[in-house]
Structure 1
Amino acid sequence: MIKGHCQTIYDPSLIEDERVLRNLLFTQSRYVIKSSYFKCFQTELDVYMRELVANWMLEICEEEKCEKDVFPLAMNILDRFLSVILIKKSQLQLVASVCLLVSSKLRQSEPIDVKKLILYADYSITSDQIKGWELLVLSQLKWDLAAVTPNDFLNLILRRLHTRCKGKDKLMTIKKHAQTFITLCATDFRFSMLPPSSIAASCIATAILGLTSLRNNFSSTEKILSQICKLASIDVSELLSIRKSIEDVLNEQISRHH
């Protein structure tokens, strides 16, 4: 038997239901951390360490061909846990491994193998440690792990932009680029305190405005930005500010690889 992940299939009736979008907008705030946990709380950790472990987690997700939302959800779980439990620097990779495991259990049919997580961590962690810390993460977050993420808003917003976009292929291109930007945002702590809907809207806007071929397929850039903002309950000025941050992070990433 050939093993492989089952791909997520979206139900059009749910995507088109206005109540789904309203409920996500209403519940998202409880999954967003309220302040930075560095310096004042996590005295042994810093933003750079989070970035390093985030990129390590992302590499695992790519290697394991995980569903697109496994990584953003894992980072959300990590941020929320680090906001309430003090850890040592030496425990960060263990906690990150647990967050990946939990997220993969929630967002795909086949979770990441614990043995593989141990291998990726170069055998610096054990199966018993993962089990113990998994229970700690679950209990500290009160088993409320299925957080709202930016990816949850993508199809809901894009579906409602369909009438303004010429062709399904263009819409899929926007989605693909937006997902890439969402992943990028998850690696950078500056986006951790923003509502998922705001990140999703800004990533969609960045995808549209960043590609000339896509801009030409919209009747009016100003109108489409206004529509995106209305759907995500975000001001245009805030969207443009987040978009600039996304471009800053993107440019930083590009400069590092040159």
Structure 2
Amino acid sequence: MELFCLEKDAIMRAQKDPNIFCDERVLQSLLTVEDRYVPQGPYFKCVQKEIQPFMRRMVATWMLEVCEEEKCEEDVFPLAMNYLDRFLAAVPTRKCYLQLLGAVCLFLASKLKACQPLSARKLCMYTDNSITSQQLLEWELVVLSKLKWNLAAITPLDFIEHILHKLPFPEDRMMLIRKHTQTFIALCATDHSFTMYPPSMIATGCVGAAVCGLQPDQSNQNLWGDNLTELLAKITHTEVLSFTSAERISISAARDTNSSSAYTDCLKSCQEQIEQLLTNSLKENQQQQEGRASNKGTQSQNLSCTPTDVRDVNL
């Protein structure tokens, strides 16, 4: 009898454990500790002097493109952005080191979440070798020390299955909602205005945006609109809200009043912001595609390895 290797290139996922998604204590534990991994203030105003929001967005877009090019697990990018935001909230950083920081955060997140972590050589290649492997390894220790080696951060993706498990949709429709939600979460991670939102609220808002973006079934018509928002708010709402930053958009009102309606309003505002971000992103992508089509072949040289060139940040 011959032995054959039956391993495939596709990533094999474990089946869902009902003991995790049916036990309310797991979701409650996530809600309890999620605030520990959220920047507690607007670091562009308080900490960073050189780095601006548009620079963060350029680097975030580059990081997302690297993850897409390497077919990384969907967990890698949001976790890497969590590392980047927590580092920037604690350490003043020169703009010439921002792409290096992004590469290090991808390096660490892929080690924690990816079946095949990104290599230092590939990450250097994606920066057009503007950084070296030695710099990457040195900064890895710097980031780890500033994050106090606390890498098991809570991200919006950790809440998706808990939320979807409580929605009355068929499995085939749930797969589509899940895919859209993951896309929206990645999009939110590229925008700095979501950095101080609790991961549970981003996840819930993305699920709501994904559901509302799909054509409703007549059988589930009663779930749409305000009814859906109220249902989603009940899933992730706790008796004592753990939102500590007064800077978070209208979430402090929900904390002070401990009101279900206030929390629902916060969630509705978050969902509307996500939908607006998606609209703006689609417009920008269309404009970029039209611009690339008109300039095709005129700038074939001096291009970076991914469509987003962040070298202009250093200027």
Q: Does 1:138 align with 2:166?
A: no
TM-score by length of 1: 0.94
Q: Which runs of 5+ in 2 are unaligned?
A: 238-259, 288-315
2:176 to 165, 173, 177: 173
1:229 to 207, 227, 233: 233
Is contact 2:79–2:109 with CA below 8 Å preserved after alignment? yes
Is contact 1:68–1:179 with CA below 8 Å preserved after alignment? yes
Question: 1:83: Cα distance to partner?
Answer: 0.9
SS in 2 for 1:109: coil
Q: Greater helix percent: which structure?
A: 1
Work out the CA distance in 2 between the residues paired with 1:105 and 1:95.
15
Matched letter for residue 253 of structure 1: S
In the other structure, the counterpart of 2:216 is 213
Work out the CA distance in 2 between the residues paired with 1:117 and 1:214.
44
Deviations 1:44-73 (A, max 9, x none): 100000000000000000001000110001
Is contact 1:151–1:179 with CA below 8 Å preserved after alignment? yes
| CA distance 1:181–1:214, change in 2 (3 Å) | farther
Work out the CA distance in 1 between the residues paired with 2:88 and 2:274.
24
Matched letter for residue 171 of structure 1: M
Q: Does 1:84 align with 2:84?
A: no
RMSD, matched Cα: 1.7
Identity between Structure 1 and Structure 2 (%): 46
Is contact 2:229–2:268 with CA below 8 Å preserved after alignment? no
SS in 2 for 1:133: helix
Q: Does 1:186 align with 2:189?
A: yes
Larger Rg: 2
In the other structure, the counterpart of 2:203 is 200
SS in 2 for 1:190: helix
SS in 1 for 2:165: helix
Is contact 1:198–1:239 with CA below 8 Å preserved after alignment? yes
Matched letter for residue 118 of structure 2: I
TM-score by length of 2: 0.77
Work out the CA distance in 2 between the residues paired with 1:145 and 1:5.
26
Question: 1:42: Cα distance to partner?
Answer: 1.0
| CA distance 1:5–1:53, change in 2 (3 Å) | farther
Q: Which runs of 5+ in 1 are unaligned?
A: none
Question: 1:227: Cα distance to partner?
Answer: 1.9
In the other structure, the counterpart of 2:58 is 52
Is contact 2:75–2:157 with CA below 8 Å preserved after alignment? yes
In the other structure, the counterpart of 1:20 is 26
How many residues were matched structurally?
255
Question: 1:216: Cα distance to partner?
Answer: 5.6
Moved more, 203-212 or 56-65: 203-212
| CA distance 1:132–1:215, change in 2 (3 Å) | farther
2:156 to 147, 150, 158: 150
Is contact 1:5–1:108 with CA below 8 Å preserved after alignment? no
SS in 1 for 2:200: helix
